[in-house]
Structure 1
Amino acid sequence: MRLKGKTAIVTGASRGIGRAMAYKMAMEGARVLVNYNKSRDEAIDLVHEIRNKGGYAIAFGADVRDRKMVREMVKVARVNLGKIDIVVNNAGVACYALFTDMTDDQWREVIDTHVTGTYNVLKEVLPYMVSEKAGCIINISSIWGISGAAMEVAYSAAKGAIIAMTKALAKELGPSGIRVNAIAPGIIKTDMLNDFSDDELKEICLNIPAKRLGNPDDVANLAVYLASDQARYITGQILTVDGGYL
């Protein structure tokens, strides 16, 4: 129970990596707000699963691009969970397209969800963390934010911005007792890979030293560690979970 007595907000937590992180944090004792945008049923199912296992969670629908919705989400978290100890900025979208074919709307959706969404959440949460002189922020980036990926220029740019934000905020917030780290997952088996055929996925695995795709639990295990007191001297780090891909 490494997170017993702590509270957490996990954005984009209804599916994939976000779901795994919210579930594992709850199983480690944290009281969790499961944020979702469109996948309400999946979020409610996760809350029921957590409660059936003896944990505590609530669901809240909010598009992180909307500052007013984020503000209301944070208020609900404080009323229902108490002091906010952990924030995981995971909400995101992907866009597979040649840069020359990408529309302005596609660009804005990716950048606004990842970058502005993270900004909105932190602007609403940090005043409370600073006043408490404590807190843990985990931003979910990607290996493409480090190396870049063809056909994913907007996604790579957004995830690269998350890395820069993480490093800068860690320096700025360290004196206030707040740790800021980022996880850069590699190729993880989630809905974002649904457009790839089995043959394409097998070919991808040939280039991964671990010879397999990652799974959401691989990322969630690291998130729990970073959120725990075991990682109390770790901040400003970008940790890859990629099976050696980079």
Structure 2
Amino acid sequence: MDLQMRDRVYLVTGGSSGVGLATVRQLIGEGAKVLTCARDADRLSQVLAHEVPDASDRIVAVGADVRDRPQIDAVVDAGLDRFGRLDGVVNNAGGSRMAPLWETSLDAWRDEFDLKFSSVLNTVDAAREHLRASDAASIVNVNAVLSRQPETKLPATSAARAGLLNLSKTLSVDLAPDIRVNSVLLGLIDTGQWRRRYEDSGDQRPFAAWEADIVDDRGVALHRFGRADEVAAMILTLLSPIASYVTGSTLDVAGGVARYV
């Protein structure tokens, strides 16, 4: 299926690994041009040179912390200077804070909410007037099933993601009809975070055995972690012009882990 993304320009935050990197790769595969950022500029450049070596003329990569508005303004400006337009945004920067409720300090709570909200508000505000010039403007916020199904081991992240889901709905109304806004809710995706948790666990078994215990404990219907490319495919679908009548919606990419209706 042609996603109608050729020569369109998309901003992907957090493009140096995991879902962000997979999204960049698939956008390039669709013939799009990509503006991406990550905090570690050198690592971002090295990863992109390895993962999409023949696409340097279609990628602008900038080091930036999305919590800092001047830095994200500079990212958007760099993309406009190079490509002259912006058609969509994937708000992907983020992470998870695994700590019990009463072992999470107030500063940690503030930091978690700052990351989840500032990353989206800064990026959307910097991009929205440029997006309005597109005939198919779209935003996809990468969120998690935690937004609807709290995890006791991740209380701060669960609460922050619930707020982001609510904010995404507000944005979909506020920016309509010019810009569509949708969310992708992730379950257990095999990215660097899970690999680091496996290494930190000290478990001597192969990763697959450790993974099997976790998916059984969490009740993942498909009995495995998801892959970053599986998430990216759904992000591209919602981001693309073929989803032109979809806004304010959420799509679970979670292997059936969700227990809500």
Tell me the TM-score range normalised by the shorter chain.
Answer: over 0.9
| Separation of aligned partners in 2, 1:191 and 1:82 | 33
For the residue of structure 2 that corresponds to 1:34, the secondary structure is strand
**CA-atom RMSD in angstroms:** 1.8
Rate the CA distance shift 1:140–1:43 in 2: closer, same or farther, 3 A: farther
Range with bigger deviation, 187-196 or 59-68: 187-196
Range with bigger deviation, 41-50 or 109-118: 41-50
Deviation at 1:51, TM superposition (A): 4.2
Range with bigger deviation, 125-134 or 73-82: 125-134
| Separation of aligned partners in 2, 1:209 and 1:55 | 42
Give the alignment's TM-score, normalised by structure 1: 0.93
- The residue that corresponds to 2:146 in the other structure is 144
| Separation of aligned partners in 2, 1:108 and 1:38 | 23
* Counterpart amino acid of residue 201 in structure 1: E
Q: Aligned to 1:90, which of 89, 92, 97?
A: 92
| Separation of aligned partners in 2, 1:34 and 1:44 | 13
For the residue of structure 1 that corresponds to 2:197, the secondary structure is coil
Count of aligned pairs between the two proteins = 245
| Separation of aligned partners in 2, 1:178 and 1:132 | 9
**CA offset digits 1:52-86 (Å, max 9, x no partner):** 26871121011011011011111111111221101
Deviation at 1:47, TM superposition (A): 4.4
For the residue of structure 2 that corresponds to 1:174, the secondary structure is coil
Deviation at 1:130, TM superposition (A): 3.0
Deviation at 1:42, TM superposition (A): 4.0
For the residue of structure 1 that corresponds to 2:224, the secondary structure is coil
- The residue that corresponds to 2:229 in the other structure is 217
Q: 2:37·2:44 contact (CA, 8 Å) conserved in 1?
A: no
Q: Aligned to 2:77, which of 75, 78, 82?
A: 75
For the residue of structure 2 that corresponds to 1:105, the secondary structure is helix
Rate the CA distance shift 1:187–1:50 in 2: closer, same or farther, 3 A: same
- The residue that corresponds to 1:205 in the other structure is 215
Identity %: 29
For the residue of structure 1 that corresponds to 2:93, the secondary structure is coil
| Separation of aligned partners in 2, 1:44 and 1:153 | 34
Q: 1:27·1:50 contact (CA, 8 Å) conserved in 2?
A: no
Q: Aligned to 2:174, which of 172, 175, 180?
A: 172
